[in-house]
């Protein structure tokens, strides 16, 4: 059937398009075949090893051989665990000697996120300063600003990436370790997507490498005159994913089998440079990226799928600041309402700063439109920490969340009121200077433990 | 107009982001912004693909700013196009040319840019306050208390700050300023918002003086 605009016969245009569009005049059979082809490619994840999908890591090895770059390697000392990515490639996830590359959104807004992660590392008897490092010598990835405003460019993003990852490479020195001792663990989904995209551009473009080499040289951040690029870019949720069974078997103290969990995976985790995202056939049939869902499953909670799992949260970078109607409408209509109505979710888990902020903070205004839906929103690692007995206030820091976490915590068998009372008493101690730390604070400033 | 189109096309990412277009519309079908704005990633790809210079220029006046940069379009496209990536190239070109649309759209984003360029963090606890986000409700924190004390109660040393998301060392900030200057970010900022640029320049000068003083102190100690 032609979709020529009635009365538009003279222009030859197709409905909704300009005159340069021509009807393909496909037969019904051809149209079905074409549609099937599209469906095959978009409805399910596909293992696509086509020529446009080179494994960028292979090009990194070549560049290293040619003396162009140094690859920050994952060694046996990092105790890596292999996982499969969307395209069936192996990805090494280091479990130890990690350099916490923080997220400005998490640290500024959801501090229980990094605190829960470090709490887990302590629970596994990791030694701060040897098995992990959290230090002040790092900047934000700057990608929120870039995607929000367009102020910034590939060169600035690349220089920031290389600066921060150079610091990760050399950071062990002041603590008596070899170069490359600590491997970067990226906390933020946007940083993760951005760094992987930029790494691709750096490997593909000699011109870009040349430009940023001048900058890194000026900053004193070349090693033997070369750029340092990490073998893998690792997101914190990937660490949680490979540690999930140890978390459940060694640390879990609370039965969460009565908790209905919905999962929102960050777009920039699996839609940017999607070939590198982790998939596992044992997690929702391998049709969703595994991270986040896998830990909920390992802890024994009820992981419930829902129809808008693929939608973004509505964050939109610029939108959450200056187009707030879009952000809050999208998050309420497409995520919170659906999680509540379809899945009767007790909680929505996320793996990224922007998603959790968006879905957490924008529920209250929904009432103005008679959308009285509310669901607690937190990170996978926060939920896991709760299930392992972490304090909801001191460690999981749920006091910063706007969504209603109280009922969930009570349903898990933890007394919210008791925990709150204890925390309020602790605040008096804090005022008196008696502060509890997860690690020796001097480490953050470069001092030895 | 032709110059603007040529500039978009000459970006080294262009061929990476645009490979062809079946016009299938899967990008628009799953685009969050398409549900709320007069915006379609399919249209962006088609405009660039068919080199429709005038309409490309028009799209840069408003439409490109609707994109939420979620990259759902890129993940779904059977041709491995990235409409979201093309939008970023168009935004950068709009800024370089000082287009009014870019100035208008970015004005409310100034606070984030100020925070980022001066501190190396994009967000800080003092920005997430009820005064700035009345639509987040009256109780966006579950425990009453002074912000500084609440931050001190986080058991991670680097997070016990208020004006930055984490404590950033002075040397790190200075390195950041060098990156901004050498990559032309400061020039873009000046094109977009001269007042903001002046404020940031003053701040950077002051920080650099502080750093010089600190370096001298270190030498004296040696």
Give the span between the Cα atoms of A18 and B51, in whole angstroms: 12
Q: What is the pLDDT of residue A449?
A: 42
* Placement of tokens 């992987």 in the chain: A196
Report chain B residues whose CB lies below 8 A from the CB of A103: 165
Q: What is the pLDDT of residue B119?
A: 87
Report chain A residues whose CB lies below 8 A from the CB of B187: none
Element (H or E) spanning A70, and its range?
strand A69-72
For residue A435, the distance in angstroms to the closest alpha carbon of chain B comes to: 7
pLDDT at residue A31 is higher than 70: yes
Residue of A nearest to B121 (CA): A140
pLDDT at residue A5 is higher than 50: no
pLDDT at residue A49 is higher than 80: no
Mean pLDDT of chain A: 91
Q: What is the pLDDT of residue A21?
A: 63
Test the B interface: residue of A34, A56, A106, A108 with most B CBs within 10 Å: A108
pLDDT at residue A53 is higher than 80: no
For residue A340, the distance in angstroms to the closest alpha carbon of chain B comes to: 20
Q: What is the pLDDT of residue A41?
A: 61
Give the E-state strand segments of A205-299 in sequence order.
227-230, 234-235, 260-264
Report chain A residues whose CB lies below 8 A from the CB of B157: 134, 437, 439, 441, 443-444
pLDDT at residue B221 is higher than 90: no
Please give the torsion angle defined by the CA atoms of residues B33, B39, B41 and B42, in that order, rounded to the nearest 10 degrees: 130
Report B:94-153 residues touching A (Cβ under 8 A): 94-95, 102, 105-106, 108-109, 111-113, 116, 120-125, 127-128, 133, 135-137, 139-143, 145, 149-153
ipTM for the predicted complex: 0.95
Report chain B residues whose CB lies below 8 A from the CB of A272: 71, 74-75
Give the pLDDT confidence of A204-231 residue by residue, as tens digits.
999 999 999 999 999 999 999 999 999 9
For residue A205, the distance in angstroms to the closest alpha carbon of chain B comes to: 8
Give the span between the Cα atoms of A319 and A323, in whole angstroms: 4
Percent of chain A having pLDDT more than 70?
Answer: 91
Q: What is the pLDDT of residue A6?
A: 43
Q: What is the pLDDT of residue A87?
A: 82
Contact A428, B144 (CB under 8 A): no
Q: What is the pLDDT of residue B128?
A: 82
Q: Does B184 touch chain A (CB under 8 A)?
A: yes
Give the pLDDT confidence of A335-387 residue by residue, as tens digits.
999 999 999 999 999 999 999 999 999 999 988 888 899 999 999 999 999 99
CA A407 to chain centre: 26
pLDDT at residue B99 is higher than 90: yes
For residue B191, the distance in angstroms to the closest alpha carbon of chain A comes to: 10
Q: What is the pLDDT of residue A447?
A: 65
Give the pLDDT confidence of A90-113 residue by residue, as tens digits.
999 999 999 999 999 999 999 999
Report chain A residues whose CB lies below 8 A from the CB of B179: 156, 159-160, 163, 215, 219
Contact A266, A147 (CB under 8 A): no
pLDDT at residue A161 is higher than 80: yes
Per-residue pLDDT, averaged over A384-400, amounts to 98
First vs last C-alpha separation in chain A: 74
pLDDT at residue A116 is higher than 70: yes
Residue of A nearest to B114 (CA): A145
Answer whether B71 sits within 8 Å of A152, measured CB to CB: no
Test the A interface: residue of B91, B118, B175 with most A CBs within 10 Å: B175
Give the pLDDT confidence of B35-89 residue by residue, as tens digits.
999 999 999 999 999 999 999 999 999 999 999 999 999 988 988 899 999 999 9
Answer whether B159 sits within 8 Å of A207, measured CB to CB: no
SS3 state at A393: coil
Answer whether B22 sits within 8 Å of A38, measured CB to CB: yes
Q: What is the pLDDT of residue B70?
A: 95
Answer whether A312 sits within 8 Å of B36, measured CB to CB: no
Q: What is the pLDDT of residue B42?
A: 96
Per-residue pLDDT, averaged over A416-423, amounts to 98
For residue B193, the distance in angstroms to the closest alpha carbon of chain A comes to: 11
Residue of B nearest to A397 (CA): B154
What lies within 8 Å, CB to CB, of A186 at 6+ separation is A101, A192, A195, A233, A234, A235, A236
Give the span between the Cα atoms of A206 and A323, in whole angstroms: 38
This model's pTM is above 0.90: yes
Per-residue pLDDT, averaged over A146-172, amounts to 96
Answer whether A441 sits within 8 Å of B157, measured CB to CB: yes
Using a 10 angstrom Cβ sphere, with 0-12 exposed, 13-18 middle and 19 or more buried, the burial of residue A34 is: middle
Give the pLDDT confidence of A231-284 residue by residue, as tens digits.
999 999 999 999 999 999 999 999 999 999 999 999 999 999 988 999 998 999
Is the model more confident about B20 or about A248?
A: A248
Q: Which of A347, A371, A196, A159 is nearest to A264 (CA)?
A: A347
Answer whether B141 sits within 8 Å of A399, measured CB to CB: yes
Q: What is the pLDDT of residue A407?
A: 96
Per-residue pLDDT, averaged over A187-192, amounts to 96
Q: What is the pLDDT of residue A16?
A: 52
- Cα B104–B106–B109 angle (5° rounding)? 135
Q: What is the pLDDT of residue A2?
A: 41
Give the span between the Cα atoms of B111 and B124, in whole angstroms: 11
For residue A232, the distance in angstroms to the closest alpha carbon of chain B comes to: 21
The Cβ-side half-sphere exposure at A3, using a 13 Å CA radius, reads: 10
pLDDT at residue A50 is higher than 70: no
Q: What is the pLDDT of residue A3?
A: 42
Q: Which residues face A234 on adjacent strands? A: A185
Q: Which of B177, B163, B123, B89 is nearest to A163 (CA)?
A: B177
Give the E-state strand segments of chain B in sequence order.
none
Q: Which residues face A4 on adjacent strands? A: A14
Report chain B residues whose CB lies below 8 A from the CB of A107: 121, 158-159, 165-166
Of A103, A150, A430, the CB nearest to B152: A430
Q: Which two tokens stand for residue A36?
A: 């099937």
pLDDT at residue A448 is higher than 70: no
Report chain B residues whose CB lies below 8 A from the CB of A164: none
């Amino acid at each position: 059937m032609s979709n020529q605009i009635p009365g538009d016969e003279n222009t030859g245009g197709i409905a909704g398009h300009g005159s340069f569009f021509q009807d393909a005049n496909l037969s019904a059979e051809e149209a079905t075949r074409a549609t099937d082809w599209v469906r095959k490619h978009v409805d399910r994840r596909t293992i696509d090893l086509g020529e446009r999908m080179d494994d960028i890591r292979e090009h990194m090895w070549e560049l290293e051989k040619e003396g162009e770059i140094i690859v920050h390697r994952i060694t046996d000392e990092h105790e890596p665990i292999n996982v499969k990515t969307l395209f069936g490639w192996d990805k090494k996830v280091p479990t130890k000697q990690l350099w916490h590359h923080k997220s400005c959104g998490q640290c500024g807004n959801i501090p229980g996120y990094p605190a829960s992660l470090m709490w887990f590392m302590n629970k596994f008897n990791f030694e701060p300063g040897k098995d992990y490092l959290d230090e002040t010598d790092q900047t934000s990835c700057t990608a929120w600003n870039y995607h929000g405003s367009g102020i910034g460019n590939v060169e600035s993003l690349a220089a920031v990436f290389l600066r921060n990852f150079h610091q990760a490479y050399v950071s062990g020195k002041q603590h008596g370790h070899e170069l490359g001792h600590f491997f970067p663990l990226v906390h933020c989904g946007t940083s993760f997507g951005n760094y992987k995209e930029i790494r691709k551009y750096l490997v593909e473009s000699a011109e870009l490498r040349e430009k940023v080499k001048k900058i890194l040289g000026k900053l004193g951040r070349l090693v033997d005159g070369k750029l340092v690029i990490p073998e893998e870019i690792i997101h914190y949720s990937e660490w949680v994913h490979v540690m999930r069974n140890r978390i459940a078997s060694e640390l879990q103290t609370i039965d969460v089998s009565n908790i209905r969990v919905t999962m929102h995976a960050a777009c920039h985790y699996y839609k940017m440079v999607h070939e590198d995202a982790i998939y596992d056939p044992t997690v929702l049939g391998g049709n969703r990226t595994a991270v986040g869902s896998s830990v909920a499953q390992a802890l024994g909670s009820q992981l419930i799928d829902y129809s808008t799992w693929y939608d973004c949260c509505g964050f939109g970078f610029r939108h959450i600041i200056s187009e707030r109607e879009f952000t809050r409408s999208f998050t309420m209509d497409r995520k919170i309402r659906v999680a509540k109505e379809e899945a009767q979710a007790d909680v929505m888990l996320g793996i990224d700063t922007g998603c959790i902020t968006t879905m957490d903070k924008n529920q209250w205004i929904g009432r103005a439109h008679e959308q009285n839906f509310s669901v607690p929103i937190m990170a996978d690692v926060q939920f896991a920490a709760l299930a392992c007995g972490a304090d909801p206030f001191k460690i999981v820091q749920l006091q910063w969340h706007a969504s209603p976490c109280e009922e969930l915590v009570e349903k898990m068998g933890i007394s919210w009121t008791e925990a709150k009372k204890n925390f309020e008493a602790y605040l008096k101690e804090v005022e008196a200077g008696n502060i509890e730390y997860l690690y020796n604070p001097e480490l953050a400033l470069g001092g030895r433990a | 107009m032709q110059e603007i189109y040529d500039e978009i096309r000459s970006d080294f990412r262009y061929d990476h982001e645009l490979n062809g277009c079946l016009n299938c519309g899967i990008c628009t079908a799953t685009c969050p912004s398409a549900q709320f704005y007069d915006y379609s990633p399919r249209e962006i790809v088609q405009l660039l693909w068919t080199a429709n210079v005038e309409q490309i220029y028009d799209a840069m006046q408003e439409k490109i700013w609707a994109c939420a940069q979620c990259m759902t379009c890129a993940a779904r496209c059977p041709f491995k196009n990235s409409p979201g990536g093309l939008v970023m190239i168009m935004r950068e070109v709009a800024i370089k040319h000082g287009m009014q649309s870019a100035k208008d759209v970015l004005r409310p984003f100034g606070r984030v840019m100020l925070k980022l360029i001066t501190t190396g963090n994009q967000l800080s606890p003092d920005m997430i306050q009820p005064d700035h986000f009345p639509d987040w409700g009256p109780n966006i924190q579950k425990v009453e208390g002074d912000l500084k004390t609440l931050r001190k109660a986080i058991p991670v040393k680097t997070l016990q700050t208020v004006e930055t998301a984490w404590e950033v060392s002075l040397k790190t900030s200075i390195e950041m300023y060098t990156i901004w200057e050498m990559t032309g970010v400061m020039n873009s900022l000046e094109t977009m918002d001269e007042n903001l640029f002046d404020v940031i320049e003053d701040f950077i000068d002051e920080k650099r003086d502080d750093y010089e003083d600190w370096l001298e102190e270190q030498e004296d100690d040696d």
